[in-house]
Amino acid sequence: MSVWAVLAAAGRGERLGADRPKAFAPLRGRPLLAESLERLEGSDWIESIVVVAPPGWEEPVILLAEELGCGKVAAAVAGGETRAESVQIGVGEVAEDAAVILVHDAARPLVSDDVLERLIVALNEGWDGAVPGLPVVDTVKRVDGDTVVETLPRSSLVAVQTPQAFVASVLRAAVAGTGDATDCSSLVEGRGGRVKVVAGDPRLFKVTTPDDLALVESWLEADEEDEADEEDEEDDA
């Protein structure tokens, strides 16, 4: 099954306060984009990758991909004004014969093979799409300005992340329309598509502020220390 990934990286990331687009904000000395790009490249589930770059940053994206040895990158294209536009542009670069298109936010650097597997398995079960979701821990209310309109039943809510995977033809049809959806699934749902929620991953959270970047750095450092400890134990054995 041919699975293509569209990596949405064209956001400005103003809340990060960096002097460059969020995808190029430094994470442990590398552009933030490097982390998700390398992880998608290393996954056996993914055949090819389209990177949707901040306008004017297509060349640096290609150079980064070359530097990281990411041979699966088929195209780097300039994104649009909104995420929805950027995804539409990215999907337009996917090969006609792709069976599955997976859309991922570069702002969620810690994409794992476990999540990718859960999504692809759901599509193999016959769903039109699959998204990772986490239980909602806070009570969520719908408001009108500062007035509470209603309290939503928490047991029926999930917080949805990316990557989101879809049957290619279903996603192509869904993104063809206009609108400013904040995720792809809502476009598919809106056309009657059946989307499954699979278990998400707390580490897939979206980097928005400098504190978020620092948190992801601390997780990666802890991972490295764990790996070094494991290697030491193996050497001792």
Q: Can you tell me which of 72, 83, 118, 196 binds ligand C5P, judged by CB under 6 A?
A: 83
Site membership for ligand C5P, residue 50 (CB under 6 A): no
Beta bridge mates, 141: 151
Stretch that binds ligand C5P, among 75-83, 120-128, 136-144, 193-201 (CB under 6 A): 75-83
In the complex, least distance from residue 105 CB atom to ligand C5P, rounded to whole angstroms: 4
Contacts of residue 131, Cβ cutoff 8 Å, sequence gap at least 6: 119, 160, 161, 162, 164, 165, 183, 185, 195, 196, 197, 198
CA distance 31 to 64: 9
Site membership for ligand C5P, residue 79 (CB under 6 A): yes
Specify the residue, 83 or 196, whose C-beta has the smaller distance to ligand C5P.
83
Helix (H, G, I), strand (E, B) or coil at 61: helix
DSSP-derived letter for residue 135 is E
CA distance 43 to 192: 30
Site membership for ligand C5P, residue 92 (CB under 6 A): no
Stretch that binds ligand C5P, among 102-110, 123-131, 172-180, 227-235 (CB under 6 A): 102-110
Beta bridge mates, 103: 6, 164
CA distance 51 to 7: 5
In the complex, least distance from residue 140 CB atom to ligand C5P, rounded to whole angstroms: 18
In the complex, least distance from residue 60 CB atom to ligand C5P, rounded to whole angstroms: 14
Site membership for ligand C5P, residue 86 (CB under 6 A): yes
CB 185 within 8 A of CB 133: no
Binding site for ligand C5P (CB under 6 A): 8-11, 22-23, 52, 79-83, 86, 105-107, 206
